[in-house]
Structure formats: C-alpha cells, structure tokens
Amino acid sequence: MEITAAMVKELRQKTGAGVMDCKNALSETDGNTEDAIRWLREKGIKASERRADRTASEGVVASYIHAGNKVGVLLELNCESDFVARNEEFQRLAKDIAMQVAATNPRYINKEDVPEEVIEREKSILRNQAINEGKPEKIVEKIVEGRLSRFYSENCLIEQPFIRDDHQTVGQLVKEKIAKFGENIVVRRFTRYRLGQET
C-alpha cells in the first residue's frame, strides 16, 4: 500500500512522532492508523526504557491550585536538558501530573517507594479479607496479589490511571514523552497541600 504524505501528517499530529518513524509505522501496519499508533507506542516504550538510567538533573517545578483554592500541589519534574525543560509540552506534562496529584492524592511516586512494612501490613489485611470472604486457601495468595495491584494503582502516582485519559497510566504517559523527547523524564518529588490539613 502506498503511504501518502497526508497519512504521515495525520499520524504525526496524533502522536508527535518524527516523519520517518510515522512512515515506518504506517509501512509496517499496511497504512492502518490505529495499528501504527500502537506500533509507535510499543517502539517508543522500548526506546524509553533504554533511557531510564540516564541522569535527569534539569526540569521544572510546577504548581497547580485546584478550583476553590482549597488544594494545591508543588511538583518537580526532571529531564536531561534545559532545552526540553523549556519546552511547552514538557511544562504542560508537569502541570498535568501536578493536577493528577491534586485530584488523586497519591502517597508515593513509585511502587519501589512503598516501605516494606506498609506492603506487609497491606498483604496481611488483604489475606484476612480473602479468608473472611470464604475464599479457598489455595487461591488466597493470588487474590492478595491482585488486590495489592489495586493498592498500588490507588497509592502510587506512576501506577495511577491518568485523569485526562484513563486508558493509560501516568507511567505510560511519561514513557511516551521520554520516547518523544529522547530524554529521561523523572517525577522527582511532590507536596500536596489541603487547606486546614495538618502537615
């Protein structure tokens, strides 16, 4: 199938990927735009994983104040270069993630940040719940693991469904931007303030 400039342009607008990447994606998927988007995402995620160990020491501190001025967030999002840090799309990403924190109030950034004692306590509660529900002993551990995943998606920012598009997690969104910018991107830290809440 012939890949036209219009097809490439449409895919670029939808994904922000480079011209050659879009052309290759369309060639690989016989011109099917949806399949090409998936192909690019898969390729992009793989590329992002190779960048994950590079130092991200530039970036921005973004703020978000929720309507009504009762909740506010400060968030540091890092990248590798000042050039990307000044990019409007990168700054919008930082703002979106700050808004995510305001809306969902995560306790941790990543699963790895959850203290071992918190995980063990949660597992114990989930195990007792499953037993009290009368679940067979042999599947209790599988149930615990499944429910622990839900705990992570509620409490870890990177594991949460993104509030603007719940078909992807915040982590997947960050990986897409890593692929697009060609730099490692890291949520370094955040603080959420709620009016009247004790710190």
Asked, for residue 199, whether it belongs to a domain, the answer is no
Share of the chain above pLDDT 70, in %: 90
Tell whether 174 and 89 lie within a shared domain. yes
Phi, psi of 166 (to 5 degrees): -75, 10
Residue 129 maps to which CATH number? Answer: 1.10.286.20
Tell whether 103 and 164 lie within a shared domain. yes
The domain containing residue 32 runs over which residues?
5-51
Tell whether 90 and 63 lie within a shared domain. yes
Note the pLDDT tens digit of each residue in 109-143: 999 999 999 999 999 998 888 888 888 888 888 88
Other CB atoms within 10 Å distance of the CB of residue 166? 9
Note the pLDDT tens digit of each residue in 58-105: 899 999 998 889 999 999 999 988 899 999 999 999 999 999 999 999
pTM: predicted TM-score of the whole model, two decimal places = 0.68
